[in-house]
Structure 1
Amino acid sequence: MIGDRKHDLIGAFNCGVHSMAVGYGYGSEDKLTACQPTHYVKTVKELMQSFTRIVV
C-alpha cells in the first residue's frame, strides 16, 4: 500500500500488507513515520527508484 496519510498506513497494517509512506502528499513526516511504515520516501523520484530496489 502506498499512502500519504496515516489512515492509509493503518489500513495496510490492519490488513497485513506492506506499506510505503510518501512524503509529498498530505501527511507530515512525523505522523507518517509514527505509523511505522515498511518504507518511507520523500519524493516521487525516490518512489520510482524504490521499485527497482524493493523485493517482496
Structure 2
Amino acid sequence: MPSLHAFVNGLERDLAAVTASFTLPWSFGVVEGHVNRINMIERQMYGRAGFNLLWKRVLLA
C-alpha cells in the first residue's frame, strides 16, 4: 500500500510536530473554525460580488 507508506513516512518526518500536537495544551481549533466559515462564504459568493460585499457578509455572519 504505497499511499499508507507515504503517509507514515510523512508522520515520521514531522514526528516533533505530531508529538507537540498531542502533548501541548494549545489548539488552533477556534481559528480554523473562523477560516472555514469565511471560506464557505467566499465559495457561496464566487463571481457574484466584490470584496466590499464579501467583507460585509463576513462581519455580519
For normalisation by structure 1, the TM-score amounts to: 0.25
After TM superposition, the score normalised by the length of structure 2 is 0.24
Structure showing greater radius of gyration is 2
Structure number with the bigger relative contact order (C-alpha 8 A, sep ≥ 6) is 1
